[in-house]
Amino acid sequence: MKRNDLVKRLGNLGFPLMEVTEESDANLTLAELVKSRDLRFWEGFPTVLVFSAEMGMFDYEKTESRLKGSFDKLDFGLLVAMSLALYKALDLKFSWTDKLYSSLNNEGRRQFDVYFNAFRSGENLHLRHRLMSSQRLKTTFNSYFLQKQSSMKDLLSTKEELGFEQALSQVLAPKQKELFLKKLKSEKLTKTEKEYFSRVVKKKVLALANTQLHQLAQRLLR
């Protein structure tokens, strides 16, 4: 991947070296970031990782599968271990970190402890043959992460809204959905709309609200 293309992808995933609006493949971007061996990009790895994981776009195995060389895979494991150590050192907790830690091999877990101690003591970190400043990593992460926190909340909220809209469209016809939302927002309905809502829409909504039906549906989806 060309450097400019990688810069654009990183901008979309929390490390805005330049402004872009293109959609990114998080796993491909993280893999290309690893292969770049560019220390400035590597310093942004924890930010890109946390943003991708929080948005549900990161998969350890898929990212690793895009790395063919053994050294690239080794660097990837070390960068993940370093990122997890940084989050812990900054006392940040995420729902996915325990699972990600379990994906590390024995060397990665050993290096996690080494990196965590380095962050606590302010010493430099060794990622194989590269030397990285623990203080610079902290500063870079805090700088970008604090900026991206509000963006992540907005994106997650949008994602939830889209899921709600999609689910609503599957059980209600367009006009029924329109009336449902108008009623939800306490907007005024015409006489005809009130009658239709009471006769058709309300019955569907009551069925959806049935606790036993909801429990049975959940069992079918397991």
Q: What is the pLDDT of residue 156?
A: 47
Lowest model confidence (mean pLDDT) among 82-86, 131-135, 177-181: 177-181
Q: How many other β-carbons are positioned within 10 Å of the β-carbon of residue 82?
A: 27
Q: Mean pLDDT in the chain?
A: 78
Residue 125 scores a pLDDT above 90: yes
| 50-70 pLDDT per residue, tens | 888 877 888 999 999 999 889
Q: What is the pLDDT of residue 12?
A: 47
Asked whether 54 and 149 are in contact (CB, 8 A), the reply is no
Lowest model confidence (mean pLDDT) among 27-36, 115-124, 154-163: 154-163
| 144-200 pLDDT per residue, tens | 776 655 555 554 454 455 456 666 677 778 888 788 777 776 778 888 888 888 888
Q: How many C-alpha atoms does 112 have within 13 Å on its Cβ side?
A: 21
The top-scoring range by mean pLDDT among 2-16, 97-111, 168-182 is 97-111
Q: What is the pLDDT of residue 222?
A: 60
DSSP calls for 118-182:
HHHHT--EEETTEEE-HHHHHHHHHHHHHHHHHHHHHHHHHHHHHHHHHHHHHHS-HHHHHHHHH
Asked whether 86 and 53 are in contact (CB, 8 A), the reply is no
Q: What is the pLDDT of residue 36?
A: 87
